[in-house]
Every structure is written in C-alpha cells, then in structure tokens.
Amino acid sequence: MMSAVQITHGFVALEDGGEQLFYRRAEPSGAPGGAGVLLLHGIRFSSENWQNIGTLEALAKAGFVAVAVDLPGLGNSKAAKAPAAIGELAPGSFLKRVAEALRLSQVVVVSPSLSGMYSLPFLFDHGALLKAYVPVAPICTEKFTAEQYHSVQTPALIVYGDQDAQLGELSLNNLKNLANHKVAVMKGAGHPCYLDNPEEWHSILLQFLRAL
C-alpha cells in the first residue's frame, strides 16, 4: 500500500461549449495510478465531502486515481448547466464527457442519491466504459425496467444504510436486477451512509475494488 498521496483541484472544461466543472483529484504520488474512480454526490453535498471523510486519500493510498466532481449547479460548479439545459446532451452522454475530460478510462463510478440521474443513463448507454458501478441509494432507479437491468454485465456493488427509509430499500429493489451485483448494508447508517461510518465505507469500497 502506498503512503504518499498527491491531491489537486481545479476546473475542467467539457468539449461542448466549455461547461466548467470543479473537481478534486487524488492519486499515488510519484507513480502512475491504477483504475480511475469517479465520485459523484447527492443534492446537499459536494466533492468536499469525499475529501473531508478521507475517501479521496484512502483510494489514492490504495493505488487508485480518485476524482470527485461537483455536479452542475452544485458546490463550486454552480455556473455549469445541467444536461437538460444543454440542448441534445443527455445525462448519460454528459457523464461520458466528464470522464473523458478528466482522462479517466474504464472508470468505476460511485453514485449516491441525486447523482443517479447521471450515473444510471451512463451505465445503460455507455456500460463498456465502466469498469464497475457503486450505487449508494441513488434516485431514478424506478425509471428503468428489470430487463434493462438484466442486460447490464458491469460489476456492481449496491450500498445502502439500513436506516434509509426513503431510498434504501426502493433503490435496492430495482438495482438487484443487475446481472452481476453484490449488496453491502451498513448497519445503523442513514441515507448518506458513508458519512455515518467512513471507516466501514472505505473498507467495503476497497474490498470490492481490489477484487475486480
């Protein structure tokens, strides 16, 4: 396991009209990183949460390149427009362009809550670009059929807190139709379960990533 970590931040411009998204990037210092992990966030949160609870650092120490972005209209990306306001750019294509702009290929997407509106279309439309998918009680799971979920071969780790009465079980009932999935339930944790127990969250996530 590597100990030195390099953390940077800045804005990345997407090709279509220069939408500026804020990002935080952590990677092993002095050595090329491993797989890229793209960390999204919920409506009340931002990339700062992943930095504050140590997820960026934990991933980089384990040899991964970890990038957390602020989604359009949130955090430090308030000037960026959501895909619905960018003409023909669909949410799935939007996240594809984000990954390309950040130079992340065969990326693992970690997607809590609100970010499901971006990550699920990305999963269905561009699954070949995804090394793995880690949904954490995301929204919009009901918008897709069981057959659509069955068609996805991407390895998935479904994570939720057992105290999440709103989206935990609902998202699980849909996501469990994914053909290649595992489930991790965080006991005593609420909707943002990773905030309730960061140490357990990191253990669950890293165990999954190392097994890919």
Nearest-5° Cα angle at 169, 56 to 175: 70
The answer to whether the CB of 115 falls within 8 A of the CB of 123 is no
Q: Is residue 21 helix, strand or coil?
A: strand
Give the DSSP H or E segment for 60.
helix 55-61
Q: Which residues are known catalytic residues? A: 113, 164, 191
For the chain, the straight-line distance linking the first and the last C-alpha, in angstroms and rounded, comes to 17
Instruction: Characterize the bridge pairing of strands 20-28 and 65-69.
Output: antiparallel
Phi, psi (rounded to 5 degrees) for 93: -70, -35
